[in-house]
């Protein structure tokens, strides 16, 4: 039995301990905001926070997060008004929107570490998150907008 916290709630899991956190969240907890994109940690669509740090849930097994705190897009802010989410809306970042939960989780983790990131910081932190619609210019703009706003 694996115990963990997801968005503040205690959870117990007795399935395949090697199941990636992604599928546990999506298929068993029905937290479908976290997306499947590649299954090998190269696209960032599945990004969640584990103990506050950005992590790819498609290559993180449930047993790896035993005893840890997992935050998904659904739990980033109870009103869905985290500064990054607000900036995303203001800049009209999303096109199809599929990758944006992962982008937002990655950006929120970046701002926690570096409240005033430079363009280079953003490139470095966000290069693992693919957006096939090509919204990068607005992602960068929105991160700058959210920078310095208290989360």
Partner 1 sequence: MNRIDVVSRRGFLGTVFSAGAFVLGAQILPEDALADGTSGAPAWQPTVYLGLEPDGRVIITAHRSEMGTGIRTALPMVLADELDVDWKKVTIAQAIGDKKYGDQNTDGSTSIRSFYDIMRQSGATARLMLERAAAQQWGVPASQCKARDGQVTAGSHKASYGELAALAAKQPVPKKEELKYKTPAEFKYIGKGVPITDQPDIVAGKAVFGLDARVPGMVYASIEHAPVFGGTVRSVDDSEARKVRGVQRVERIAAFKPPYAFQPLGGVAVIADNTWAAMQGRKKLKVNWDLGANTAYDSTSYKKSLFETVRKPQKVARNVGDVDAEFAKGGTIHEAEYYAPMLSHAPMEPVNAVAEFKDGKVTAWAPTQNPQAVQDTVAQALGIKSQDVTCHVTLLGGGFGRKSKPDYVAEAALLSKQVGKPVQVVWSREDDIQFDFFHAVAAMYMKASVDAKGRPTAWLQRCAFPPIESQNDVTARYGGFEQGMGWSDVPFDIPHQRAENGPAEAHVRIGWLRSVANIYHAFAVQSFADELAAAANRDRVEYLLDLVGKPRTLDVQSIPPNTPGYALDTGRARKVIEAVADKSGWARKKSGPGHGYGLAFHRSFQTYVAAVVEVEIDSKGAVRIPRVDYAVDTGLVVHPDRVISQFEGAAVFGAGLALMGEITAQNGRIQQSNYHNYPVARINEAPREVHVHLMQNDAPPAGVGEPGVPPMAPALCNAIFAATGKRIRELPIKKTKLV
Interface positions with partner 1 (CB under 8 A):
15-16, 19-20, 23, 26-28, 30-40, 42-43, 45, 72-74, 76, 80, 85, 88-89, 92, 94-101, 104, 122-124, 126-140
Nearest distance, CB of residue 82 and partner 1, angstroms: 9
Minimum CB distance to partner 1 smaller for 33 or for 144: 33
| Buried b or exposed e, range 17-31, using 16+ CB within 10 angstroms | eebbbbbbbbeebeb
Nearest distance, CB of residue 61 and partner 1, angstroms: 10
Pull the structure tokens for residue 101.
């939960």
Minimum CB distance to partner 1 smaller for 5 or for 41: 41
Query: Cα–Cα distance between 142 and 82 in angstroms, integer?
Result: 12
Query: Cα–Cα distance between 114 and 69 in angstroms, integer?
Result: 21
Nearest distance, CB of residue 68 and partner 1, angstroms: 19
Minimum CB distance to partner 1 smaller for 38 or for 145: 38
Minimum CB distance to partner 1 smaller for 30 or for 51: 30
Minimum CB distance to partner 1 smaller for 23 or for 50: 23
Q: Report which of 29, 68, 76 is spatially closest to residue 60, judged by C-alpha positions.
A: 68
Nearest distance, CB of residue 51 and partner 1, angstroms: 20
Query: Cα–Cα distance between 125 and 30 in angstroms, integer?
Result: 28
Nearest distance, CB of residue 137 and partner 1, angstroms: 6
* Beta-carbon contacts of residue 43 (< 8 Å; ≥ 6 apart): 37, 99, 102, 128, 129, 130
Residue 25 DSSP symbol: I
């Amino acid at each position: 039995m694996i115990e963990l916290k997801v968005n503040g709630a205690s959870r117990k899991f007795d399935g395949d301990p090697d199941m990636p956190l992604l599928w546990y969240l999506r298929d068993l907890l029905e937290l479908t905001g976290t997306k499947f994109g590649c299954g090998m940690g190269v696209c960032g669509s599945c990004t969640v926070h584990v103990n506050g740090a950005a992590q790819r849930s498609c290559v993180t097994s449930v047993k790896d997060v035993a005893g840890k705190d997992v935050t998904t897009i659904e739990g980033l802010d109870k009103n869905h008004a985290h500064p990054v989410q607000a900036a995303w809306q203001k800049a009209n970042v999303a096109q199809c929107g599929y990758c944006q939960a992962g982008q937002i989780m990655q950006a929120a983790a970046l701002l926690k570490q570096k409240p005033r990131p430079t363009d280079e910081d953003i490139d470095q932190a966000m290069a693992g998150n693919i957006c096939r619609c090509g919204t990068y210019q607005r992602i960068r703009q929105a991160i700058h907008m959210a920078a310095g706003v208290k989360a």
